[in-house]
Amino acid sequence: MADTTISQEDFLKFREFFYRKTGIHFDDSKRYFVDKRLIERIVATESVTFRSYFVMLRFETSGEELQALTNLMTVNETYFFREEYQFKCLVNTLLPEIITSKKEGQLLRIWSVPSSSGEEAYSIAIYLLEYWPGINHWDVEIISSDIDTKILAQARNGDYSARSVEKLPAYFLEKYFRRKGDAYQISDDLKQAVEFTKVNLMKPEDVRPYRGFDIIFCRNLLIYFDDLSRRTAADTFFDALNPGGFLCLGHSESMSRISSLYQTRKFADSVVYQKSKEAQ
Amino acid sequence: MPLIKQHISKSIEQDQRKRERDCTSLELQLSDPSSAARRWAARDLISCPEATGALVLQLQQEDDSSVREIILTTLTQLGDELAVASLVGYLRSEDVALRNEAIEAMKLLPDEVAPIMGKLLIDPDPDVRISAVNILESLRHRQVEEWLTKVIEEDPHVNVCATAVDLLGEVGTTSAQEALEKLKTRFPDEPYISFAADLALKRIRST
């Protein structure tokens, strides 16, 4: 029978390894959460002890177990205004900096990937309209992409559950949504404001046309990729960005472990990654 | 509403590349004066399995780090014998950045690196052997413990053994115990080795 005891030393060792591989850090308060999921995988893989599981996790050639564990350790859900601090950073810092190097009349372009069911892209649109005075002077294009055509159809359709919109102030619900029974549908104006497209980030022919972006949001996607795919995505975003453009990752993701192409910028609201202004 | 759609689907259809994308043209573009053009060429060469030689050649003379990174990504994706051989060559480079980039790239190629790991670990240059141990740190391969154990049993260089013993402390099992005990007698005048071996043994015995 498996010995599923996880000592404090095991926890610390696992935490350090998992952080190095995924950028996800668990503080001490998450001990129960981490232990529960580790034990689940120790049992599922029929490992005898934490140590034998950990050795397998580290050196398994396929990386499948690390992926299974990562999926278990991350909560795959999206909702309006998720990680709102980055939207604050967008309107307070990133856009004001971007427009200093733009000529009047030039278009600002934002890419949100993966789109999932559209919450992030529509959140960006709402945030710009509500909190960025520059929206009265600049045209902004928001493109949101995903590999999954079903989820893209859902995003274009714009129907959301009450849970998905629960972080939104009531005023925004009235202004930007139509009530449909227990659900909410995004307004036609916002639907018209976001372009949803299918893209596979790993296919050069798919990503080639995606160029000239000022800001890219790619949050909570890279944690699901293997190391080489992460690096490929980082390379792709680099050439999709304009010089001086910004890349926003999820709160638990860090570019410094993936690629050295970007400069890390620490702002009051968020840490973001920037393509050098001098880069071609 | 100043949020506008340009319909990227149209721009995809109209995505006319300024330069030819066949393999020969892409190889030539690796020496284009524009670093953006070189990056795009390096990325698109993923569809040209014969391009490894051109990529390796460019990497040797490329001084733009953004292009270097993408060449290395493509070489890692190609992962053929020549790509791996060139990465091994960079482990000997005086250029620290290139050496580290090669280590990182090789960590991503367990199946391709495994057959040459034994040879790397007995390379005459101790710096190459240390790099090889560093690759093992994240190489997903079942033989990692076996390789590390052999290093601490046989490698004559204290720094190589010190690097290996640190890693064994993290990943070693009871099968490494005997080698760890012997290691202390191989370097009796090196207090760090004794300390690191004892720490590794403690960790192994506690689990």
Contact B70, B62 (CB under 8 A): no
Going by pLDDT thresholds of 50, 70 and 90, the confidence category of residue A23 is low
Going by pLDDT thresholds of 50, 70 and 90, the confidence category of residue A257 is confident
Give pLDDT, residue B14.
Answer: 53
Per the domain annotation, does B132 fall within a domain? yes
Give pLDDT, residue B110.
Answer: 86
Q: Are residues B35 and B47 in the same domain?
A: yes
CB pairs under 8 A between A and B: 119
Residues B81-125 pLDDT 10s: 999 999 999 999 888 888 988 998 898 888 889 999 999 999 999
Measured between alpha carbons, how far is residue A76 from residues A19, A79, A81 in Å? Answer: 18, 10, 15
B148 pLDDT more than 60? yes
Q: Are residues B114 and B201 in the same domain?
A: yes
Give pLDDT, residue A120.
Answer: 97
Q: Are residues B130 and B104 in the same domain?
A: no
Pairwise CB contact (< 8 Å): B170 & A13: yes
Torsion angles phi and psi, residue A166, rounded to 5: -65, -20
Q: Which of A34-48, A133-147, A248-262, B157-171 has the lowest mean pLDDT?
A: A248-262
Q: Are residues B33 and B103 in the same domain?
A: yes
Instruction: Please name the helix (run of DSSP H) or strand (run of DSSP E) that holds residue B201, with its range, or none.
Output: helix B191-205
Per the domain annotation, does B125 fall within a domain? yes
Q: Are residues B62 and B155 in the same domain?
A: no
Interface test with B, best of A5, A59, A137 (most B CBs within 10 A): A59
Going by pLDDT thresholds of 50, 70 and 90, the confidence category of residue A30 is confident
A31 pLDDT more than 90? no
Could you tell me the fold of the domain covering A84-274? Rossmann fold (3.40.50)
Going by pLDDT thresholds of 50, 70 and 90, the confidence category of residue B207 is low
Q: What value does the mean pLDDT take over residues A115-121?
A: 94
Q: Are residues B141 and B95 in the same domain?
A: no
Pairwise CB contact (< 8 Å): A227 & B108: yes
Q: Are residues B89 and B74 in the same domain?
A: yes
Q: Are residues B125 and B92 in the same domain?
A: no
Residues A203-253 pLDDT 10s: 888 898 899 999 999 998 888 777 888 889 999 999 999 999 999 998 878
* Average pLDDT value for chain A: 90
Q: Which of B93, B108, B123 is the last residue of a domain?
A: B108
Q: What value does the mean pLDDT take over residues A86-91?
A: 96
Helices (H), chain B: 8-13, 23-29, 35-44, 52-61, 65-78, 81-90, 96-107, 110-120, 126-136, 144-154, 158-171, 177-186, 191-205
Going by pLDDT thresholds of 50, 70 and 90, the confidence category of residue B140 is confident
Q: Which of B2, B5, B69 sits opposite A260 (nearest CB)?
A: B69
Query: Which residue from A138, A199, A40 is spatially nearest to B9, judged by alpha carbons?
Result: A199
How many structural domains are present in chain B? Answer: 2
More confident residue, B187 or B5: B187
A166 pLDDT more than 80? yes
Domain that holds residue B197: 110-207
Per the domain annotation, does B65 fall within a domain? yes
Q: How far is A128 from chain B, CA to nearest CA, in Å?
A: 9
Q: Enumerate the domain spans of chain A.
A: 8-73, 84-274
Interface test with B, best of A228, A241, A242, A278 (most B CBs within 10 A): A228
Q: Are residues B33 and B100 in the same domain?
A: yes
Q: Which of A10, A227, A261 sits opposite B69 (nearest CB)?
A: A261
Q: Which of B85, B108, B131 is the last residue of a domain?
A: B108
Give pLDDT, residue B177.
Answer: 94
> What is the CATH classification number for the domain harbouring B114?
1.25.10.10
Residues of chain A with pLDDT > 90: what percent? 58
Pairwise CB contact (< 8 Å): A62 & B5: no
